[in-house]
Amino acid sequence: MKRYSVGVVGAMGAVGTEMLKILEQRDFPVGNIKPLDVKENEGKKVYFNGREVEVQVAQEGAFGDLDIALFSAGEAASCDLAPAAVSEGCIVIDNSNAFRMDSKVPLVIPEVNPEDVMWHEGIIANPNCSTIQMLVALKPLHDRYTIKRIVVSTYQAVSGSGLPGILELEEQVRAYIENRELKVKVYPHQIAFNAIPHIDTFTDNAYTKEEMKMVHETHKIFHDEKIRVSPTAVRIPVIRCHSEAINIETEKPIEAQEAKEVLSKAPSIKVIDDISANVYPLAAELKGTDEVYVGRIRQDFSVKNGLNMWVVADNLRKGAALNAVQIAETLIKYKKV
Amino acid sequence: MKRYSVGVVGAMGAVGTEMLKILEQRDFPVGNIKPLDVKENEGKKVYFNGREVEVQVAQEGAFGDLDIALFSAGEAASCDLAPAAVSEGCIVIDNSNAFRMDSKVPLVIPEVNPEDVMWHEGIIANPNCSTIQMLVALKPLHDRYTIKRIVVSTYQAVSGSGLPGILELEEQVRAYIENRELKVKVYPHQIAFNAIPHIDTFTDNAYTKEEMKMVHETHKIFHDEKIRVSPTAVRIPVIRCHSEAINIETEKPIEAQEAKEVLSKAPSIKVIDDISANVYPLAAELKGTDEVYVGRIRQDFSVKNGLNMWVVADNLRKGAALNAVQIAETLIKYKKV
């Protein structure tokens, strides 16, 4: 079996750490692993398959011995280094927003549009976390009923901002309990005991970038510019796992019980929906899971063909690291690496 | 000036405490105040206008000397005692769900349908907290543009479950920080660091009662059975103030800038919407306020005539105690007490 040299850029970050863990857990055919990070983390150790590995500096010249580099060190790092990595002969799977809407870059969710890896020119983009879990859940419904419109409100965890987000929430909560003043650094406002309708920066049309990602990425991944998406992205004081209240309107008649069966049979989806036993997906219980969890599936009585549902997934895994590793697996499957 | 004997049933609870405070703050013409609560709280003291008042037992026979009784002691207490209070000659303003959909009971938001107090037969119902803030925000838009459909996702605070909800969140957060096991009592699941898509009990159509209240109460208060409402009600770890992501579709063309002006001029609404300065309504900052705060007002590009907005209000005040006191004020204004 062929083995691959794999680099992880941002190896010390929240997503990078998950990437290393997932490469191990899924027994990805790693020949050589190369954790890369900023200069300050040079020489620090990470563990991979029980072995200590030294972190090296992510910089030009560091990619020549790699087959695949998984990038998750932010948009600036991707802009700086991904083209260099490609010119050094390595395929980049990029978790940032840098190349997602670039027409030369495929944007891939392996359960939805795996074949798009075929036309890559060196870079493949990993979609935004809130888009990934939404589209994994909606793909089987779109195939069957043709979705016309999506109205979605998100309930997003602080780990979407990496370790600094988690530390800020924990510190603010501690300050509240100890009756100290809350300090605000990562978010524009206090996140403990709050709901902030503002993720990423605002754009000219009064939506945030996070919201517009859900619009544009849906079009690109579904290869369907006609689906209309109306998003509200909100940060809430949850550590890990994003939740989404999703409302869809379809071309063809949709019925909740049948939709539930369609979802139950779809890849990477787990339907958890037994309201008589208070069972539905919950962010606090799904840390470390790989599937997209769907519950509260119910007819939308306000429109001819409509459905409401509640979708939860681990934003660091399916929303980021896992999807990136699955893209690498898809490249191998299609012999594109 | 005429003064009224006012009873507060549930005077030691989260909403009852606010009711006493609001009667003071608004200088309601109280002649005599009578705090009523369960037997266990008999003889405890509350303060009203700087004076200590003893809590008496809420029971039959306790209402004969009252003009108005504000009830907020739960549905069972209202079912038990409201009819007795009426037969003892007192007008009941009831904050529970007991009588809201009773065709003989007006359901009133003073900014929306004040004239409905005119036909009361002794009981007037205070709407559900999530309905009140939604309809205060939507009334001026409905008047101007005729709302056809509402898709709403809520982000509701634990104070909606009264003091036990607040204490449960605080205790779970403390346990998390101190690395102890979290205990679950008030909610079906851990509420700290979680989002629970389940408020009140489930009904046969797979929606919760909380969600169906938003449907039925909207019809009754707007006197319009045609408005379609698609709700998802979610509890999040916020102490006080509910937030709502509201999407509307209107008959007439609606434009965000004009809608913002319409809202700015409406009673009891404050538009806080300056995204260039990261300004929008936030639950953690609006405790103790009386208005309904609206921000993130933006065109919905997914539909012909659509608008998205973010609505926050203090669920214990405008969502409960304040609205009840305003109903009492409306009764006085219309000489119906």
Shortest distance between the Cα of A212 and any Cα of chain B, in A, equals 11
pLDDT of residue B309 exceeding 90, the answer is: yes
Fold of A131-314: Dihydrodipicolinate Reductase; domain 2 (3.30.360)
> Are the Cβ atoms of A237 and B193 closer than 8 angstroms?
yes
Are A238 and A166 within 8 A, CB to CB?
Answer: no
Cβ neighbours of A236 in B, within 8 Å: 155, 195, 236-238
pLDDT of residue A140 exceeding 90, the answer is: yes
Reading the block at residue A318, the tokens are: 């399916």
Eight-class DSSP state of A242: E
**Rounded CA separation B37/B325 (Å):** 18
Cβ neighbours of B149 in A, within 8 Å: 302-303
Portion of chain A with pLDDT greater than 70, in percent: 100
**Rounded CA separation B257/A285 (Å):** 42
> pLDDT digit string (tens) for A235-259?
999 999 999 999 999 999 999 999 9
Q: Which of A120, A129, A142, A241 is catalytic?
A: A129
Residue with tokens 């929240």: A14
Superfamily of domain B4-127+320-333: NAD(P)-binding Rossmann-like Domain (3.40.50.720)
For A32-89, give the DSSP string.
Answer: EEEEEE-GGGTT-EEEETTEEEE-EE--TTSSTT-SEEEE-S-HHHHHHHHHHHHHTT
- Of the candidates B78, B95, B187, B82, the one whose C-alpha atom is nearest the C-alpha of residue B132 is B95
Catalytic site residues of B? Answer: 129, 242
Which residue in A158, A193, A271, A276 has the most chain B C-beta atoms within 10 A of its own C-beta, making it the best mutation to test that interface? Answer: A193
Which residue in B184, B204, B229, B230 has the most chain A C-beta atoms within 10 A of its own C-beta, making it the best mutation to test that interface? Answer: B230
> Are the Cβ atoms of A303 and B150 closer than 8 angstroms?
no
Residue B337 Cα to chain centre, angstroms: 22
Eight-class DSSP state of A23: H
Shortest distance between the Cα of B234 and any Cα of chain A, in A, equals 9
Mean pLDDT of chain B: 98
Superfamily of domain B131-315: Dihydrodipicolinate Reductase; domain 2 (3.30.360.10)
> pLDDT digit string (tens) for A17-68?
999 999 999 999 999 999 999 999 999 999 999 999 999 999 999 999 999 9
Q: Known binder of ligand: residue A159?
A: yes
For A105-164, give the DSSP string.
Answer: S-B--TTT-GGGGGG-SSEEEPPPHHHHHHHHHHHHHHHHH-EEEEEEEEEB-GGGGHHH
Which residue type occupies B295? G
Angle at B307 between CA B199 and CA A302, to 5 degrees: 50
Q: Known binder of ligand: residue B103?
A: no
Residue B218 Cα to chain centre, angstroms: 13
> pLDDT digit string (tens) for B223-255?
999 999 999 999 999 999 999 999 999 999 999
How many contacts, defined by CB atoms under 8 Å, are there between A and B? 165
Diameter of chain B by CA atoms? 60
- Of the candidates A334, A316, A332, A330, the one whose C-alpha atom is nearest the C-alpha of residue A16 is A316
The minimal CB distance from B236 to the residues A150, A232, A236 is found for A236
The minimal CB distance from B247 to the residues A230, A278, A306 is found for A230
> Are the Cβ atoms of A153 and B150 closer than 8 angstroms?
no
Q: Which residues pair with A270 in a beta bridge?
A: A293
> Quick one: CA torsion of B313, B234, A236, A312, rounded to 10 degrees?
-160
Shortest distance between the Cα of B214 and any Cα of chain A, in A, equals 12
Q: Could you tell me which residues come within 8 angstroms of residue B104 by beta carbon, excluding any fewer than 6 positions away?
A: B121, B123
Reading the block at residue B6, the tokens are: 């006012």
How would you write chain B as a 3-class SS string? Answer: CCCEEEEEECCCCHHHHHHHHHHHHCCCCEEEEEEEECHHHCCCEEEECCEEEECEECCCCCCCCCCEEEECCCHHHHHHHHHHHHHCCCEEEECCCCCCCCCCCCECCCCCCHHHHHHCCCEEECCCHHHHHHHHHHHHHHHHHCEEEEEEEEEECHHHHHHHHHHHHHHHHHHHHCCCCCCCCCCCCCCCCCCECCCCCECCCCCEHHHHHHHHHHHHHHCCCCCEEEEECCECCCCCCEEEEEEEEECCCCCHHHHHHHHHCCCCEEECCEHHHCECCCHHHCCCCCCEEEEEEEECCCCCCEEEEEEEECCCHHHHHHHHHHHHHHHHHCCCC
Cβ neighbours of B235 in A, within 8 Å: none
- Would you place residue B25 in the very low, low, confident or very high pLDDT band (cuts 50, 70, 90)? very high
Mean pLDDT of chain A: 98
Cβ neighbours of B197 in A, within 8 Å: 243, 245, 280, 295-296, 310
pLDDT of residue B1 exceeding 90, the answer is: no
Same-fold call for A4-128+320-333 versus A131-314:
no
B66-86 mean pLDDT: 97
Taking chain A, what is the end-to-end CA distance rounded to the nearest angstrom? 14
pLDDT of residue B120 exceeding 90, the answer is: yes
Are A166 and A243 within 8 A, CB to CB?
Answer: no
Shortest distance between the Cα of A307 and any Cα of chain B, in A, equals 9
pLDDT of residue A69: 98
Q: Known binder of ligand: residue A100?
A: yes
- Of the candidates B159, B165, B216, the one whose C-alpha atom is nearest the C-alpha of residue B188 is B165
A304-311 mean pLDDT: 98
**Rounded CA separation A263/B319 (Å):** 37
Q: Could you tell me which residues come within 8 angstroms of residue A322 by beta carbon, excluding any fewer than 6 positions away?
A: A18, A22, A290, A314
**Helix (H, G, I), strand (E, B), or coil: what is residue A230?**
strand
Eight-class DSSP state of A312: E
> Are the Cβ atoms of A198 and B275 closer than 8 angstroms?
yes
Q: Which residues pair with A52 in a beta bridge?
A: A47
Q: Known binder of ligand: residue B319?
A: no
Q: Could you tell me which residues come within 8 angstroms of residue A269 by beta carbon, excluding any fewer than 6 positions away?
A: A136, A137, A140, A263, A291, A292, A293, A294
pLDDT of residue A175 exceeding 90, the answer is: yes
B58-64 mean pLDDT: 98
B75-96 mean pLDDT: 98
- Residue A242 is a catalytic residue: yes
Query: Domain residues of chain B, as ranges?
Result: 4-127+320-333, 131-315
Q: Known binder of ligand: residue A315?
A: yes
ipTM above 0.85, yes or no: yes
Eight-class DSSP state of A276: G
Are B37 and B12 within 8 A, CB to CB?
Answer: yes
**Helix (H, G, I), strand (E, B), or coil: what is residue A327?**
helix
Q: How many CA atoms lie within 13 A of A120 on its CB side?
A: 31
Choosing among 2.60.120.200, 2.30.42.10, 3.40.50.720, 3.30.1300.10, the CATH entry for A4-128+320-333 is 3.40.50.720
Residue A266 Cα to chain centre, angstroms: 19
Which residue in A230, A297, A310 has the most chain B C-beta atoms within 10 A of its own C-beta, making it the best mutation to test that interface? Answer: A230
> Quick one: CA torsion of B233, B234, B238, B243, rounded to 10 degrees?
-40
Distances (CA, A) of A15 to A18, A69, A71, A82, A94: 5, 14, 9, 17, 12
pLDDT of residue A1: 84
pLDDT of residue A164 exceeding 90, the answer is: yes
Shortest distance between the Cα of A8 and any Cα of chain B, in A, equals 29
Cβ neighbours of A235 in B, within 8 Å: none
Are B171 and B187 within 8 A, CB to CB?
Answer: no
Reading the block at residue A31, the tokens are: 């020949």
Are B286 and B241 within 8 A, CB to CB?
Answer: yes
Q: Known binder of ligand: residue B235?
A: yes
> pLDDT digit string (tens) for A185-196?
999 999 999 999
Are B332 and B29 within 8 A, CB to CB?
Answer: yes
Distances (CA, A) of B48 to B34, B66, B122, B180: 10, 17, 26, 40
pLDDT of residue A309: 98
Cβ neighbours of A245 in B, within 8 Å: 153, 197, 232, 234
Q: Could you tell me which residues come within 8 angstroms of residue A222 by beta carbon, excluding any fewer than 6 positions away?
A: A112, A113, A135, A139, A142
Distances (CA, A) of A131 to A113, A153, A217, A242, A259: 13, 12, 7, 11, 20
pLDDT of residue B123 exceeding 90, the answer is: yes
